[in-house]
Amino acid sequence: MITIDGGTGKIIHNGINVTPAPMVDNWYVNAQLQPGSGTNTITDNWERGTSSQFGSIGSAMTQSSGIFTFPSTGIYYCSLNGSYYRGSGHRRYVGFKISTTENNSSFTDAVVNYDSISGDTTDNVYAAISVTFVFDVVNTSTHKMRFRTEAVDSGTTITDTGGRYLNVLFMRMGDT
C-alpha cells in the first residue's frame, strides 16, 4: 500500500518513508583476525558483501578504519554475528561489542555479549556470539558505529571465509 502524506507530500510505504528508501546492507571481515587481550576495535579487513549470496537494498553503509557511517537518518537495526575459536584450552570469556557515538568522537558501548570457550581437547573449540542494537541515527555526520572484540587473554582466533565467521547486518527500519 502506498500512501502520500498530505502534510509533507512524502511517499510512505507500509509506514516506512521511502524517501530516503529502506536499506539493508551486509559487511564482513575478510581475513583472519587474532584479537589480543582486553577490548580491541576491529579496524581492518572490512568488506561489503556484494556477491549474489548477500542481499542488499538501497544506499550502502560506508566505513573508514572500522567506523561505520550511515547513508541516511533513521532507526537502524544492527547485528554482529561472529565466532571465536581456539585449538585447545579454556577461555573464561570472549565477546563482541557494538559501540556508538552521537558526537563523532566519544564512543560508548551500546551492547555487549559474551561466551566462554571450554575444553581441554586438541580439537578446535568454538564460541558463537551475536550482538544486536537498534540505533536512532538523527544526524549522519555525528551518529556512527564501530565493532569491538573483548577477550580475557590473547590466543583466540576469528577466521573468516566469505563472511561466514564474522559479519554485520544493517537494516533501516523507518524514520527517526
Cα(176)–Cα(134) distance, integer angstroms: 11
Cα(34)–Cα(46) distance, integer angstroms: 14
pLDDT digits (tens, 9 = 90+) for 19-76: 666 899 999 988 878 887 889 999 998 999 887 777 888 899 999 999 999 999 999 9
pTM for this prediction: 0.84
135: how many CB neighbours lie within 10 A of its CB? 22
Residue 105 pLDDT class (50, 70, 90 cuts): very high
**Could you name the CATH architecture of 22-174?**
Sandwich (2.60)
Phi, then psi, of 106 in degrees rounded to 5: -95, 110
pLDDT digits (tens, 9 = 90+) for 139-168: 999 999 999 998 877 666 776 655 567 899
Question: Which one-letter DSSP state was computed for residue 53?
Answer: T
Q: Where are the domains of the chain?
A: 22-174
C-alpha cell at 15: 509506514
